[in-house]
Amino acid sequence: MSSEMPPGNLTETKMTGVGNSMKSDTDKIEEEAKELALEKMENIETMSKRQRKKLMKQKQWEEQRDLRKQKRKEKRLKRKLERRSQLESNTEESIRKRKCREVAPSKLRLIIDCSFDSLMELKDVKKLHKQIQRCYAENRKALHPVQFYLTSHGGQLKDNMNETDKGWVNWKDIHIKSEHYSELIEKEDLVYLTSDSPDLLNELDDSKAYVIGGLVDHNHHKGITYKRAQEQGIRHAQLPLGIFVKMNSRKVLAVNHVFEIILAYLEKRDWEEAFFTVLPQRKGVISLNETMDKSVPVLQDSKIVQDEASDSD
């Protein structure tokens, strides 16, 4: 029974006393109940034992009314204080979290080279568009966002962006250029990331501009970015996947995976962690840490199998 409810059939008494006048105010009801109880007290002599017992309970309930009121008040105050302290601790925590995650943009330039547009079917251009959207979102969330470039932007990709994602024109912290990267950046600063390069990327250099081939090709254009880098006489490197992890599938990654690995490395400064954070589990990524001596470079994965059955491809 709730502390608001009188014992026995007092509720009934109250209702009868109040009648249909719909008096909902607790005080009024209680007052009437009290009057009724008093009336009954006057006729106590003529009452049966059961009626008297009921009346005593009623009286007791009346006497404890103030106490109940007080208890309710205390309960409300306690709840209010609890809510306030909860709110304060939440605010403190979010400020602390933000302080811990103070964003420090990196000077490193990361370019998606969109000059392969004419080599792709529309369905693959659409996949590339999704990968670019993902890169943009991840960069905006990153602790050390890179200087993000889309170069040679045009053709089917631009048309698709105009059709399906008009908001791209308002994207922030990104340089979307129709020019080729070689027109925008010094040759010496460029490093083409390509899985076919015999060179391994050991460290990231903030003063450099790393290029990712904006291509979804399902292995149809194997080695195309490596060839381009050689023709243009620019540096190239592959991610050091083979040194740190063993994968049961391809070593040719999707554009967004390469982009995200760079972001993760900038945050963690640890390739293995970066690979594990970004690469999907189904690629069967296993650490080579325990099984191999890392001082001996493992280059057997330079020749890799292309398989772009990734989510984002």
Ligand X SMILES: C[S@@+](CC[C@H](N)C(=O)[O-])C[C@H]1O[C@@H](n2cnc3c(N)ncnc32)[C@H](O)[C@@H]1O
User: Residues interacting with ligand X, by CB under 6 A?
Assistant: 193-195, 212-213, 215, 217, 221-225, 238-239, 241, 251-255, 258, 308
**Cα radius of gyration rounded to whole Å, the chain:** 37
Q: Considering beta carbons, is residue 52 or 222 the nearer one to ligand X? A: 222
Q: Other CB atoms closer than 10 Å to residue 26's CB: what's the count?
A: 12
Least separation in angstroms between residue 270's CB and ligand X is 17
- Minimum gap (Å) between residue 201 Cβ and ligand X: 7
Measured from the CB atom, the residue of 41 and 224 that comes closer to ligand X is 224
- Of 149, 162, 134, 165, nearest in space to 312 by CA: 134
Nearer to ligand X, 13 or 131 (CB): 131
Structure tokens at 62: 């009346």
Burial 112-145 (b: 16+ CB within 10 A, else e): bbbbbbeebeeebbbbbbbbbbbbbebbeebbbb
Tokens 């912290």 belong to 173
Determine whether 124 is an active site residue.
Answer: no
Residue position matching structure tokens 């199998």? 305
Mark out the alpha helices in the chain (DSSP H runs).
10-18, 26-42, 49-63, 65-100, 122-141, 155-164, 181-184, 224-232, 241-244, 255-268, 271-278
CA–CA gap between residue 10 and residue 48 (Å, rounded): 17
CB of 81 to ligand X, least distance (A): 56
Q: Least distance in Å: CB of 129 to ligand X? A: 14
The sign of the dihedral angle between the CA atoms of 125, 126, 130, 132 is: positive
Length of the chain: 313
Residue among 14 and 109 whose Cβ is closer to ligand X: 109
CB of residue 125 vs ligand X: minimum separation in angstroms? 13
Q: Would you call 126 helix, strand, or coil by DSSP? A: helix
C-beta of 29 vs 135, nearer to ligand X: 135
Inter-residue contact 256 to 134 (CB < 8 Å) = yes
* Residue number, nearest CB to ligand X: 213
Both structure tokens of 265: 């490395």
The residue among 106 and 197 lying less far from ligand X, judged by its C-beta, is 197
Q: For the CB of residue 113, give the shortest distance to ligand X in the complex, in Å.
A: 8
Q: Which of 117, 124, 217, 313 is catalytic?
A: 217
Catalytic residue numbers read: 217
